[in-house]
Amino acid sequence: MIGPEGILGIVGHPVAHSLSPALHNWALAGNGLPKAYFRWDIRPERLVDFVAAVRTLGIKGVSVTIPHKVEMMDLVDEVTDEARAVGAVNTLFWKDDALVGGNTDVFGFLAPLKLGGRMPTSALVLGVGGAARAVVFGLRREGAEVLVAGRDRRRAEKFARMTGTRAVDWQERGQVQAQLLVNATPLGMSGAQEAMSPWPCGLVGFEAVYDLVYNPVQTVLLNQARAEGRVVFSGLDMFVHQAQAQFRLWTGREFGEDQARVFLHGLLARMTRP
């Protein structure tokens, strides 16, 4: 029987689509750990009660996804420097008796670029939501000059002021040239937006393209980038690396990056099979 100290999980609303339970339970089994990872669909108005339950039960660790990443900052005992700088928490873990909010999205985003030797000096980030926060923070920390574009001009300008970047008009994004193009919008995601691309023209001027969408793995944007000879990075790469960092925090163990990618590719293939 698994006690509270063996319980992990993800909290969000909704969370039925999340691949985190499958990946973490695969990693737990592979390490022979007597733990289990669950999903908790919690509405925003019940988040305070959920965190109280985490404290009371001593639940080992929690992944935090939309729409709770910002509000969670005010519900923990401590916030890591990185999470505070990004303005979002995606991981809960214990440090002694303190419940800590951390952020592994920055590590997850940067790791594939570093491993591939493709850390850019300039980038255009499409999207100005929570995912874009981690992307912009990570790129600027590594010294890159970052431009941002969002479909809502006013929101994009506010985001740019907040992150120390410069906003370009969404309709003019195709005129921008930079080493790296990052899609941090849901355009291309499985479902109603799968056939859509956030990019309106050719990719001249970009050396690499990074699409944070991971379902489907091969998005319209990444297919275009490959066809035009660009280096590509999938959202699945970021997902695996940020999960590795969480798993390490909770268990002190590792899981194989390549094996995890193979597992997830197989899982996604089964999910999309008619």
pLDDT value, residue 30: 96
Six-digit token string for 154: 């006013």
- Is residue 60 annotated as part of the catalytic site, yes or no? no
Residues of the chain below pLDDT 70? 1-3, 273-274
Q: Which long-range contacts link 116-121 to residues 24+ away (Cβ below 8 Å)? A: 116/231, 116/233, 118/180, 118/207, 118/208, 118/231, 118/233, 119/144, 120/144, 120/178, 120/179, 120/180, 120/207, 120/208, 121/145, 121/179
Do residues 126 and 59 both lie within one domain? no
Which of these, 232, 239, 192, lies nearest to 211 by C-alpha position?
A: 232
Six-digit token string for 117: 């030797």
Do residues 36 and 113 both lie within one domain? no
**Spatial contact of 173 and 150, defined as CB atoms under 8 Å apart:** no
- pLDDT tens readout for residues 232-243: 999 999 999 999
| Pairwise CA distance, residues 101 & 73, whole Å | 7
| Pairwise CA distance, residues 150 & 165, whole Å | 13
pLDDT value, residue 1: 56
Rg of the chain, C-alpha, whole Å: 19
pTM of the model: 0.92
Find the domain containing 215 and state its range: 107-235
Do residues 143 and 214 both lie within one domain? yes
Total domains present in the chain:
2
**269 located within any domain:** no
Do residues 84 and 159 both lie within one domain? no
**122 located within any domain:** yes
Classified as helix, coil or strand, 126 is: strand
Catalytic one of 69, 95, 114, 158: 69
Do residues 224 and 114 both lie within one domain? yes
Do residues 98 and 111 both lie within one domain? no
Which of these, 124, 120, 65, 97, lies nearest to 242 by C-alpha position?
A: 65
